Amino acid sequence: MNKIFMFLALLVLTGSLNAFIGEGESNVFTITVTPVDESVLPPDTQNTCLREAFPNPFRSGEDTRMNISVQAGETATLTIYNLKGQVVSSQTLSPGIHQIVWNGRDRGNDPCGSGIFLANLKSPSHASTTKLVLLK
């Protein structure tokens, strides 16, 4: 790849590039610019989604955050499970954009042990899961 780039750079510097591609015309490709009307793009709240947690992994005593969008007209449930399938934390989310903070504690506010946890988001139109790693 570097050899091709160096060859083309040499042709440009010597002024021979037009002769190389046939007097400035090329049938290989055409570049067409199409403007995008941003008003037709859906806003974030048109789709329910769970984005990756950050920071991840995170340490005990610190927090991890998850950005979640819930589609208008729906409610969603975010549930955090340990690898045994036990519910560690759960909450219902209304339509809109949310930043959920999890501090690595269970429903009784006791600290969870180190390990892998699964954050599961469910709504009528969506289901997804992301992995959370808690370190001591």
Residue with tokens 């995170």: 58
Share of the chain above pLDDT 70, in %: 66
Q: What is the mean pLDDT of the chain?
A: 80
Is the residue at 60 inside a domain? yes
Is the residue at 17 inside a domain? no
Is the residue at 62 inside a domain? yes
Q: Is 123 helix (H, G, I), strand (E, B) or coil?
A: strand
49-67, pLDDT tens digit by residue? 898 899 999 998 899 999 9
Structural domain containing residue 51: 44-135
Q: How many CB atoms lie within 10 A of CB 10?
A: 11
* 48, amino acid identity: T
Whole-angstrom distance, CA of residue 19 vs CA of residue 132: 58
The total number of structural domains in the chain stands at 1
pLDDT of 24 strictly over 70? no
Q: Is 39 helix (H, G, I), strand (E, B) or coil?
A: helix
97-109, pLDDT tens digit by residue? 999 999 999 999 9
pTM here is 0.65
Helix (H) or strand (E) holding 8: helix 2-14
Could you tell me the CATH number of the domain that includes residue 57?
2.60.40.1930
pLDDT of 85 strictly over 90? yes
